[in-house]
Amino acid sequence: MTHQIQNLPESSTQILEAIQREMSKVIVGQKTVLDRMIIGLICNQHILLEGVPGLAKTLIVSTLAQIIAAESSRIQFTPDLLPADLTGTMIYNPGKGEFYSRKGPVFTNILLADEVNRAPAKVQSALLEAMQERQVTIGDETFPLEDPFMVLATQNPVEQEGTYPLPEAQVDRFMLKVLVNYPDRSEELSILRSRKNISKGAAVQAVCSIEDIKALRQLTDELHMDSRLEEYIIDIVQATRYPGKWNLDFANFIQFGASPRASIFLSQAARAMALLKGRSYVTPGDIKEIAPDVLRHRIILTYEAEAEGRDTDWVIGKILETIPVV
């Protein structure tokens, strides 16, 4: 049985506060997005960011990498991208008469996969192997990826020209799908006024190391979660598959419910949320707050739901309103 801590070490709280403080030097607003990025980093899981261009998604990723003294790389996904552009390839050395491996941008700690839903199927398959197996095969050799290894993928809304939905198997590998929205009026005014400083290069500094992030990961696993909350998580996920059990009248809106991976990710993310809030235990509020980000990309709706103007967030909201904490 996993040892569970009673109180958080002061150093963990200081690290998380320092990360948030440094991020706020560059990023105006977007607190929800920043918190979700930190949760994904702590859990060593991948995040899908959806939003229109120009919302600082790339800046968020590069800043986060600087703050934790990690390596990062960016690759722009396009329809003519090849798997080798992502993973690397074999290069022939005429002098030695042999091939050697040239590693691609996937060999990093934080990979920004920009506009991931514009790439062809073979590239998506190569990315899927890296995300799931945390390894890459080049020629006859298999190389392990860095630890931590985190894919932060951005995608434009699928209604935009030149985009198409990602395969369900790949989408399911993302712990969270976070919606990046427009800033409000005051935030946009702050962005406008701070552009001069940002263009000169924001004075962010590394406030922790990769080893600190690994320690936070271990700490998250040890946070207390009551057995009733574990049952609560299972009920939420089960309700996406069998809504009739809880007298939810939208079974005709759901084609496929969330996979068992959703239960695992919801448990991990809720623990990380508690850690981010400075607590050594998980509350129902932690689960409710992070549940939409864990579930929204795992529920496949029917055409009838689309005709009625219902989306996955509406379904999740109804489930969270209905399912009682056991």
**184-215 residue pLDDT tens:** 888 778 777 776 555 554 567 888 888 889 89
The answer, yes or no, to whether residue 6 has pLDDT greater than 60, is no
pLDDT at 101: 82
Using 50, 70 and 90 to split pLDDT, how confident is the model at 237? very high
Using 50, 70 and 90 to split pLDDT, how confident is the model at 241? very high
Using 50, 70 and 90 to split pLDDT, how confident is the model at 12? confident
Among 43-57, 162-176, 185-199, the range scoring the smallest mean pLDDT is: 185-199
Using 50, 70 and 90 to split pLDDT, how confident is the model at 13? confident
Rounded to an integer, the average pLDDT of 259-269 is 95
**Taking all residues of the chain, what is their mean pLDDT, rounded to a whole number?**
85
Using 50, 70 and 90 to split pLDDT, how confident is the model at 70? confident
The answer, yes or no, to whether residue 182 has pLDDT greater than 60, is yes
The answer, yes or no, to whether residue 153 has pLDDT greater than 50, is yes
Q: How far apart are the first and last CA of the chain?
A: 22
Longest Cα–Cα distance of the chain, Å, equals: 72
The answer, yes or no, to whether residue 1 has pLDDT greater than 50, is no
Rounded to an integer, the average pLDDT of 216-242 is 93
The domains of the chain are located at 10-194+205-213, 223-322
Rounded to an integer, the average pLDDT of 72-91 is 88
User: Do the bridges between strand 174-179 and strand 46-50 make them parallel or antiparallel, or are there none, so unpaired?
Assistant: parallel
- Taking alpha carbons only, the member of 43, 46, 70 closest to residue 218 is 43
Question: Between 95 and 108, whose confidence is greater?
Answer: 108
Using 50, 70 and 90 to split pLDDT, how confident is the model at 316? very high
Q: Domain 10-194+205-213 falls in which CATH fold? A: Rossmann fold (3.40.50)
Using 50, 70 and 90 to split pLDDT, how confident is the model at 293? very high
User: Helix (H) and strand (E) counts for the chain?
Assistant: 13, 11
User: Distance between CA 254 and CA 37 in Å, rounded?
Assistant: 29
Rounded to an integer, the average pLDDT of 74-83 is 89
Question: Between 52 and 282, whose confidence is greater?
Answer: 282
DSSP designation for 160: S
The answer, yes or no, to whether residue 158 has pLDDT greater than 70, is no
The answer, yes or no, to whether residue 236 has pLDDT greater than 80, is yes
Among 58-72, 189-203, 309-323, the range scoring the smallest mean pLDDT is: 189-203
Percent over 90 (pLDDT), the chain: 37
Question: Between 91 and 150, whose confidence is greater?
Answer: 150
User: Distance between CA 325 and CA 87 in Å, rounded?
Assistant: 45
Rounded to an integer, the average pLDDT of 103-118 is 89
Helix (H) or strand (E) holding 109: none
Q: Domain 223-322 falls in which CATH fold? A: Helicase, Ruva Protein; domain 3 (1.10.8)
Q: What are phi and psi of 206, to 5 degrees?
A: -70, 125
